[in-house]
Amino acid sequence: MSLNRYLDRQMDKFIVASINRASVSSDRNFLYRISADSIKEAVDIQRLHEATVTNYLTEHYRVDASYDDRSKVFFIELDLDRCVLDPSQAKILSEAMELFRAQNM
């Protein structure tokens, strides 16, 4: 599996989780992490340049991504108001927002 495809799959999981969390709270900003080791293992590489990952996530998803060298972890701050969604994600976000409003208004 390519690095970009792996990152796309992880971001899909994070986006869906964020939408599900937003349906029960007013939060729209979430923090996730991915270890560098898990990325290297998933895409079968020995070396990983942090800028490759952070730049891809920033450019393709408009999330804030940073790397912590001490813990070897990428932190991803996903803001549902800024994040790039695919059509199905946009639909479930709209439905989640409607559900939250109906339950809390």
pTM: 0.91
Domain boundaries, the chain: 3-104
What was the pLDDT predicted at 44?
96
As a whole number, the mean pLDDT across the chain is 94
Closest CA to 32 of 70, 92, 79: 79
Give me the mean pLDDT over the 79-104 stretch: 91
Q: Give me the residue label for tokens 């599996």.
A: 1
44-80 pLDDT per residue, tens: 999 999 999 999 999 999 999 999 999 999 999 999 9
Assigned token pair, 20: 């599900």
Q: What is the CATH number of domain 3-104?
A: 3.30.1370
Whether 79 contacts 28, CB under 8 Å: yes
Residue 27 CA to residue 42 CA, distance in Å, equals 30
DSSP summary character for residue 62: -
The pLDDT, as a whole number, for residue 25 is 81
Q: Report the C-alpha gap between 62 and 42 in whole angstroms.
A: 23
